[in-house]
Structure 1
Amino acid sequence: MKRTSDHPMPSDRRFFALSFAVLFGAAILFSNAGCGKSFDLGLKGSSGSVAVLDLDEVARLLGQDVHISQTLEADKRLLTGQVESLRSQLQQELETKKNAVGENPSQEDTQSIIAYARAANSQIDSATTAAAQELTRRRDAQVGAFRSSVRPVAASVAQMRGFTLVVPKNEAIYLSFDPSIDITQEVVRRLTVVPKSELATSVAPVFQDPVVSQRVVSTNATVSSDPTEHSTVQKNSAFQRPLERLPEAPVLQAVPSSTLSPAADARPTQTPRRDRTP
């Protein structure tokens, strides 16, 4: 018959030690709770935590979304007008060349007119693409200026609440967050003490100059009539963030239909080449 030891085996000792540690930890937990202490889980402004800011809501409540939209609409009209001015100029030059060769042009004259029309279309395509890129650049500059005007206030609010990082609200990045880390309304309250004119001025200067870069539209550009050049017409890329369609040319038809998508990462698409005759 086996003799039972009065002392626990080594495995029993480990079990008793673990049980004691658990009970001791629980005792500390309830002791702190009873003293009115709480355990910070990093969700409410503890050092190293993250705050969320809804920039779209800030812009809406401050009226900056309307201001930016109106400014970009004016820029769009300006850029569209300059492209149309170039289109009209090239159309007039094409008509002049057609009238010069008469109703019965030679084969050489016909080829020259065709080459000129193709080159004109290519130039209009380039100007349209450049105008679309300029509009995108201006939109990005407007948004960037607004973010810069909000950044110091957001940093101040976050610092007061113990946050070390502020991220823009974006449901594509995270699924949910604790509402207690949302500092949007507090930032808006801080910004409402700033005169709207002063806040708008922080964004508006980006677009005070209505002159468009010469790379967008060059009204003094000449088009080669050499039949060996511009043998095909390259249609312009679609707007990365188009606002609306540009008008079609009555004869050249250089600008294909293209509507804007709001996606920030939209990329230009290329359409197949095809010849066009006047």
Structure 2
Amino acid sequence: MDPKTKRAKRFLEKREPKLKENTKNAMLIKGGNANLTVTEVLKDICLSGPVLFFFLIFFFPPLRKNITRPFEDQTSLEFFSKKSDCSLFLFGSHNKKRPNNLIIGRMFDYHVLDMIELGIEKFVSLKDVKNSKCPEGTKPMLIFAGDMFDVNEEYRRLKSLLIDFFRGPSVPNIRLAGLEYVLHFTAVDGKIYMRSYKVLLKKSGCKIPRIELEEMGPSLDLVMRRTHLASDDLYKLSLKQPKALKPKKKKNISHDVFGTTYGRIHMQKQDLSKLQTRKMKGLKKRPAEKSTEDGGVSPKKSKSAS
């Protein structure tokens, strides 16, 4: 359908596929049956990430509760994802069967790709930790500890989800003073521990400062519940890159683990005996060598007639 106004045309152009996509937005959704703990978790997570690039939504329908159940029906999530142009979501709810529940997920072409349900077992909010905080919108450094993030497929997808959720915009340059916020995730004994730290740069007597970490909140102890993971084919399709962004392969060029470039040159076979070298006295052939090359017979000098 062709747009009838310039505003509609700009809107459609903004939604068109691009070689370099925009920074992913996230919608944080509070279910109608969410309790105070889930509400505080959603607020603190919004403040923990690069807040300028998150899209916060709290649904309070006037006549009925928001009883969205993402694992049973995903149509409402996909509708709001397309309407707000958000490819990430975090849904909070609470009920007797699954208390203090969080569902983190992402979209592909406005359809749910991956979705993982997490239960909150312990929560310490930002305001409960009486330490200095990082400025809002600070890009965090992400650290993942635990073999489960590399061995188990569900934990591997959760790691990828958390990276998408908290990575924020891509930056070309980094300054040392800007590395002041750390998000640490640990997977051990079937639980996921999320901790937030502020990086303190202390004097060390040299150019490189001494690093100390100070916990600033929020702090979460999570347990994995249900999962909804995309098939391998759909997951590969979501990771597919345009041909224009793929680096062109150069023949006969390779790189080692240290980044050193090696090149292979193909040349025709050369006769090294005819190779031109520097004309030095030490490289000149002796008469004996010349006679050997001519057939082993040295030329006789003609006697002059007396």
TM tier relative to shorter chain = under 0.3
Name the structure where helix makes up a greater proportion of residues.
Answer: 1
TM-score, L = length of structure 2: 0.21
Name the structure where strand makes up a greater proportion of residues.
Answer: 2
Q: Which has the higher contact order (CA 8 A, sep 6+)?
A: 1
